[in-house]
Amino acid sequence: MSFPGKKGHRAPSPSAGAERTGPAVTHRLTKDLASSENLARMIAASRASALLEVTDYLAGMYIYGWDRLSKFWEDPEGVEALLQRICEISPQRWHQWIEFYHNELQGGNPGKASRLLGKTRKVANAAIVLEPSSELKAILRNAEEIAPHHDTYEGRPIPILTSECLILAIATSTNSPIGQKLRDAGLDLAALEQAARNPRHAPLHGNETS
């Protein structure tokens, strides 16, 4: 079944006879998760990483949508401190990222990102091509299996990933020490699974990725 997103977000099919390049598209992201991913790529670029890691995604989701996700923990403030340690971001730099994000929302100083990254905006744009780590790829595959809603891409169904799906995939991964730490921090796994597998509304997608 296909759920409508905002018009104009469908990826065009390749023209007849054109060769496909790059990895196959296996899922779409909701608008909020796509925004979190963009932040994750910038964070990875800021530390000159060659890969996009699970911790980058966690940091991006925290900065973009913590008000929405914090309800799944008994002690949100304690989880914030845990996430800062997991993501290896100092409190000062953590608050800089949050300040940068809110400035971007309000159309703030365009040079803020450059100063925060310590480089030019070209570095942030270059982060788009970062390859996901093997751990992140496994997490994304798990999230694809969890996602209850699908869209169509080139005539085939692909799952639509939400932030809840991704957090659940991390938390339930048997090979992820990060997932164990999130559970130990008081994660309400039952409530999170309900939100991931049975959302109240069909998600609006805003992006696709491999």
Q: Tell me: the pLDDT tens digits for 109-138? A: 545 544 454 443 444 444 457 899 999 999
Average pLDDT, the chain: 78
Query: pLDDT at residue 165 above 80?
Result: yes
In a domain, 70, yes or no: yes
Task: Enumerate the β-bridge partners of residue 207.
Answer: 29
Cβ atoms of residues 3 and 149 within 8 Å: yes
- Comparing 69 with 15, the larger pLDDT belongs to 69
In a domain, 125, yes or no: yes
In a domain, 206, yes or no: no
- Comparing 1 with 163, the larger pLDDT belongs to 163
Strand pairing class (205-209; 156-161): unpaired
In a domain, 69, yes or no: yes
Give the pLDDT of residue 100: 74
108: exposed, middle or buried (C-beta count within 10 Å: 0-12, 13-18, 19+)?
middle
In a domain, 52, yes or no: yes
The mean per-residue pLDDT over the stretch 151-156 comes to 92
- Looking at 156-204, which runs of residues are DSSP E strands? 156-161
In a domain, 16, yes or no: no
Specify the number of domains making up the chain. 1
Q: Give the residue from 31, 29, 40, 30 showing the smallest Cα distance to 101.
A: 40
* Residue 16: other Cβ atoms inside 10 A: 5
Give the pLDDT of residue 93: 73
The mean per-residue pLDDT over the stretch 13-28 comes to 59
Q: Please tell me the pTM assigned to this model.
A: 0.76
In a domain, 209, yes or no: no
Instruction: Name the percent of the chain lying above pLDDT 70.
Output: 72
Q: What is the CATH number of the domain that holds 77?
A: 1.10.1780
In a domain, 88, yes or no: yes
Q: Tell me: the pLDDT tens digits for 48-101? A: 888 999 999 999 998 888 888 999 999 888 888 888 888 877 777 767 777 776
The mean per-residue pLDDT over the stretch 179-186 comes to 93
143: domain range? 27-200
The mean per-residue pLDDT over the stretch 202-210 comes to 59
Distance CA 70, CA 182 (A): 12
